[in-house]
């Protein structure tokens, strides 16, 4: 008997549905991998008391909606002091209060009475330059250029002492990221995970600038705190994956990004060597990686200058 046309139609529709489901899964999996691998640029802003998300967005010149999406903020109208907000595409950390004050000063119109059109200056002032009254020297103050020593009245003082040794100019301040500016102080750091440094701090061959080092290691390797401190951020960040930030003494902070999982909560105290999470999977089978930053005063420094 020839096959029933209705049965053939049902089989064809079922095959088509399975094919569409497989294609959608393939598209979503590729998109997910693209989001994980894509590098992101930006800085971490430590929220001060009284700062709002709208003020931070205005200071950095980004939209408030972009900050909400990048940080997964549930309550944009309430930011806790001491929390961390990631600012996408920013190149340096700003003082929000000073930036807003400077913008308000620039936008404020100059005060003073408006000058009427056609108004002319008085004839006594229009053609002559205004002279400032000469300032009289205070009583007991020697006149400049005159030697007031005994027997030397009226003689001009020497303009330059030829025997004087010129004072050397002070040396310029060290550049950030150098060994001079990266003094460890009271904090000693340890490697967060054992592995090889796949990418170093600073400018890369492709022109990008990294605030971190990338450590390649085995998949699901345990990541530990590089120093004792307080966890001030523990949540996923857009383009950075699972992220943990620990605040230490001497205004130091360590940042752990692209984790496979986190095992610490915000506001918890943690000791050096305690587990904060595990590494995530990389493109290579059986290999994991993580990005590690060391910051002081919220400025990124080369972690290799601090690690043993």
Looking up residue 261, the CATH number of its domain turns out to be: 2.70.70.10
- Least Cα distance to 279 among 199, 215, 196 occurs for 215
- The reported pLDDT for the residue numbered 168 is 38
CA dihedral 174, 179, 180, 183 (to 10 degrees): 130
Last-in-domain residue among 105, 133, 160: 105
Lowest-pLDDT range of 178-182, 236-240, 255-259, 264-268? 178-182
Mean pLDDT of 21-26: 53
How many C-beta atoms surround the C-beta of residue 150 within 10 A?
A: 6
- Check pLDDT > 70 for residue 192: yes
Together in a domain, 72 and 191: no
Together in a domain, 205 and 295: yes
Mean pLDDT of 207-219: 90
pLDDT band at 159 (very low <50, low <70, confident <90, very high): very low
- The reported pLDDT for the residue numbered 199 is 92
- Check pLDDT > 80 for residue 40: no
Considering only residues 124 and 258, tell me which one the structure prediction assigns the higher pLDDT: 258
Using a pLDDT cut of 70, give the percent of the chain over it. 60
Highest mean pLDDT range out of 26-30, 134-138, 264-268? 264-268
The answer as to whether 10 is a domain residue is no
How many C-beta atoms surround the C-beta of residue 238 within 10 A?
A: 16
Tens of pLDDT along 223-254? 999 999 999 999 998 888 999 999 999 999 99
Tens of pLDDT along 94-132? 999 888 988 887 766 555 554 554 555 555 444 444 444
Together in a domain, 195 and 294: yes
pLDDT band at 165 (very low <50, low <70, confident <90, very high): very low
- Check pLDDT > 80 for residue 91: yes
For the question of whether the overall pTM of this predicted structure is more than 0.85, the answer is no
Coil, strand, or helix at residue 75?
Answer: coil
CA Rg value for the chain: 33
The answer as to whether 124 is a domain residue is no
Do residues 281 and 260 make contact, with C-beta atoms less than 8 angstroms apart? yes
Q: Where are the beta strands (DSSP E) in 35-179?
A: 42-46, 84-88
The answer as to whether 257 is a domain residue is yes
Q: Which two tokens stand for residue 22?
A: 């497989």
Residue 91: give the domain boundaries.
38-105
Specify burial of residue 198 (Cβ count, 10 A radius: 0-12, 13-18, 19+). Answer: middle
Last-in-domain residue among 65, 85, 105: 105
* Dist CA 291 CA 41 (whole Å): 13
Together in a domain, 200 and 101: no
Lowest-pLDDT range of 56-70, 87-101, 133-147? 133-147
The answer as to whether 17 is a domain residue is no
- The reported pLDDT for the residue numbered 75 is 83
Lowest-pLDDT range of 100-114, 148-162, 254-268, 286-300? 148-162
The answer as to whether 241 is a domain residue is yes
Domain count, the chain: 2
Together in a domain, 89 and 189: no
* Dist CA 181 CA 184 (whole Å): 9
The answer as to whether 138 is a domain residue is no
The answer as to whether 87 is a domain residue is yes
The answer as to whether 26 is a domain residue is no
- Please list, in sequence order, all residues whose beta carbon lies within 8 angstroms of the beta carbon of residue 252, skipping any fewer than 6 positions away: 185, 187, 227, 229, 294, 295, 296
Residue 5 φ then ψ, to 5°: -60, -35
pLDDT band at 30 (very low <50, low <70, confident <90, very high): very low
pLDDT band at 92 (very low <50, low <70, confident <90, very high): confident
Last-in-domain residue among 105, 134, 152: 105
Identify the CATH number of the domain in which residue 79 sits: 3.10.350.10
- The reported pLDDT for the residue numbered 10 is 67
Together in a domain, 98 and 191: no
State how beta strands 252-262 and 287-296 pair.
antiparallel
């Amino acid at each position: 008997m020839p096959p029933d046309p209705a049965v053939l139609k049902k089989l064809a529709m079922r095959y088509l549905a399975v094919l569409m489901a497989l294609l959608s899964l393939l598209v979503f999996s590729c998109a997910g991998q693209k989001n994980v691998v894509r590098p992101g640029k930006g800085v971490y802003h430590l929220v001060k008391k009284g700062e709002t998300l709208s003020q931070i967005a205005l200071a950095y010149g980004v939209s408030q909606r972009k900050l909400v999406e990048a940080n997964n903020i549930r309550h944009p109208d309430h930011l806790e002091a001491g929390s961390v907000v990631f600012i996408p595409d920013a190149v340096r950390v700003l003082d929000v209060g000073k930036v807003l004050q400077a913008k308000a000063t620039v936008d404020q119109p100059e005060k003073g009475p408006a000058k009427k059109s056609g108004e002319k200056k008085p004839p006594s002032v229009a053609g002559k330059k205004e002279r400032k009254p000469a300032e009289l020297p205070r009583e007991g103050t020697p006149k400049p250029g005159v030697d007031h020593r005994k027997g030397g009245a009226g003689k001009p003082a020497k303009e330059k002492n030829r025997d004087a040794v010129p004072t050397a100019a002070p040396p310029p301040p060290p550049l950030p990221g150098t060994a001079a500016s990266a003094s460890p102080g009271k904090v000693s750091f340890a490697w967060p995970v054992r592995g090889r440094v796949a990418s170093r701090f600073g400018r890369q061959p492709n022109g990008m600038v990294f605030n971190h080092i990338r450590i390649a290691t085995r998949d699901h390797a345990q990541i530990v705190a590089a120093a004792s401190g307080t966890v001030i951020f523990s949540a996923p960040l857009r383009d950075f994956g699972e992220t943990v930030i620990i605040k230490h003494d001497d205004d130091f902070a360590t940042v752990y990004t692209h984790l496979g999982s986190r095992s610490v909560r915000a506001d918890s105290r943690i000791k050096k060597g305690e587990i904060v999470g595990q590494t995530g999977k990389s493109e290579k089978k059986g290999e994991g990686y993580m990005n590690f930053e060391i910051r002081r005063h919220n400025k990124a420094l080369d972690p290799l200058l601090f690690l043993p």
